[in-house]
Structure 1
Amino acid sequence: MSVRQEMPGRLLRLLALLQSRREWPGRELAERVGVTTRTLRRDIDRLRALDYPVESTGGTGGGYRLGRGGRLPPLVLDDDEAVAAGVALAAAASVNPGLGESATRALAKLGQVLPARLRPRLAAAGSVVVAPARGVPADDLPGEPDQSGGPGGDIGGGLPAVDPDRLALLAAACRDAEVVSLRYVSRGRDTDRRVEPQRLVVAEGRWYLSAHDLGRDAARIFRLDRMRDVTATGRRFVPRPQSEDPVAQLRESFAAATYRHTAHVTIELPEPEVRRWVPALPGGLSADGPDRCRARVSADSAELVVQYVALLAALAAARGAGVTVEAGPEVTGPLRSLGTTLAATP
Structure 2
Amino acid sequence: MADTSARILRLLSLLEARTEWLGAGLATRLGVSARTLRRDVHTLRELGYPVEAVKGPGGGYRLGSGGKLPPLVLDDDQAIAIAIALQTAPATVVGIDDAVARALTTLRQVMPSRLRAASEAFELTALRNYWEFAAPPIGVATLQAVGAAIRTHRTLRFDYRSPDGRIPDPGEPDFTPPREVEPHHLVVWAGRWYLIASDRRTRKWGTYRVDRIAPRNPAGALFTPMPLTDEDLTRLVIQNPDRGDTVAQWPCRGSATIDLPASVVARWAPGGSVVEHIDEQRCTLTIGGWSWMGVAGLFVTFGSDLYDIEPDELGDALRELAARLRRSQTLTQREVPVRHSTNVPGQYT
Identify, as 1 or 2, the structure richer in helix.
1
Task: Tell me which structure has the larger Cα radius of gyration.
Answer: 2
**TM-score, with length taken from structure 2:** 0.42
Structure showing greater relative contact order (alpha-carbon pairs closer than 8 Å, 6 or more residues apart): 1
